[in-house]
Amino acid sequence: MRALLIGLGRWGEQHLRVLRGLAADIWVADVSSDRLAWAVQQGVDAAHAVADYRVALGHVDAVDIVTPADTHHALATECLDAGRDCFVEKPFTLTVAEGRALAGRVKRTGRLVQVGHIFRFHPVTECLRAALAADRIGAVRYATGRFAGFKRPRMDVGVTQTDGIHYFDLFAYLLGRDATAATAIVRDYLGRGMDDLSFTAVEYGPTPVVVEAGYFVPGTHRECVIVGERGSLVADFGQSTVTAYAGEHRRRGNGWEAAEYGTEQLKVSGDEPLRRQLGAFLQCVARRTPTPVDATAGVRALEVVEAAARSSRLGRRVTLDEVRSS
């Protein structure tokens, strides 16, 4: 497999590390000569480190785009038109309109696209799916997700689109249905013209999910809780742990009692999510099979971001049908 990595920023560095173990021939492209020199130091052939990604398109089978969101549409369009399959980091594009246009381009060119919603490939997610499939907690009542921590704000998109979007896609995957409505509070405390804090209640049919994303709380938080009729699943993606809590509320006379039946640490194991994610993409390219996170999934996650922004702006609940019809 011959692959081109476009973008050698902090996350691009990790993509390069993984790709070097997965692909036989790696090209890299970046506008920074310093970053290209760094890639050569990591073992990339100097002749394969280019400032203009177009130089490499004729030499590769697939392209991995790890650049700011406002470049995704143009870069992916050109690569698709050149007959190359593309992995596009999340968010899929800067806007829903761009996402729809790019999804149309994917269909017209017949190429493969995978969107970088990495939580789908996390061993914690695999454990959660197995527990839900085994009916460990009964019917899901609601869930929460928190992607927060004190860190440098991203400069191309707001925190809902870069961090909250992880959970928008994850819960669609875990619950097996698309979002249907959103009610959100979004803030721009730093005055950058982009949100840096958001609380979004997303409805997946009858199941509500509350997602927090922000740059301010101390520490690093990558957690979710799924509450069911007979217990809860508490997951920490940072620590790679899932705890199952068994319990239920039972009527007792004229009142209720909370019956607890114990806890269990569920087994979480597997390769690192980025390696699993990129490995899946390259395997699909080799076999010409559909990717596990296609362009439609990327657009659906962006639609929830747009619904959250619109809800906060208008001060009301916004259905996804409103977003999809606009």
**Cis amide bond preceding 218, omega within 30:** no
As a CATH number, domain 120-271+303-324 is 3.30.360.10
* Amino acid in position 84: R
Residues 6+ apart with CB under 8 A from 214: 148, 159, 163, 196, 197, 198
CA dist 115 and 185 (Å) reads 26
Strand, helix or coil at 179? coil
* Amino acid in position 321: D
Whole-number pLDDT of residue 52: 97
Strands 318-319, 181-187: pairing is antiparallel
Single pTM value for the model: 0.96
198-256: pLDDT as tens digits: 999 999 999 999 999 999 999 999 999 999 999 999 999 999 999 999 999 999 999 99
151-193: pLDDT as tens digits: 999 999 999 999 999 999 999 999 999 999 999 999 999 999 9
Determine the average pLDDT of the residues in 287-314: 98
Whole-number pLDDT of residue 24: 76
Of residues 49, 100, 36, the one with CA closest to residue 73: 100
22-73: pLDDT as tens digits: 977 999 999 999 999 999 999 999 999 999 999 999 999 999 999 999 999 9
CA dihedral 232, 237, 238, 239 (to 10 degrees): 50
Tell me the DSSP string of 10-66: HHHHHHHHHHHHH-SEEEEE-S-HHHHHHHHHTT--GGGEESSTHHHHTT-SEEEE-
Whole-number pLDDT of residue 175: 98
- Residue entry with tokens 């490939």: 121
Whole-number pLDDT of residue 144: 98
101-133: pLDDT as tens digits: 999 999 999 999 999 999 999 999 999 999 999
Residue ranges covered by each domain of the chain: 2-117+274-293, 120-271+303-324
2-117+274-293 and 120-271+303-324: identical CATH topology: no
How many beta carbons lie within 10 A of that of residue 70, not counting itself?
13
CATH of 2-117+274-293, one of 3.40.50.720, 3.40.640.10, 3.40.50.300, 3.40.50.1820: 3.40.50.720
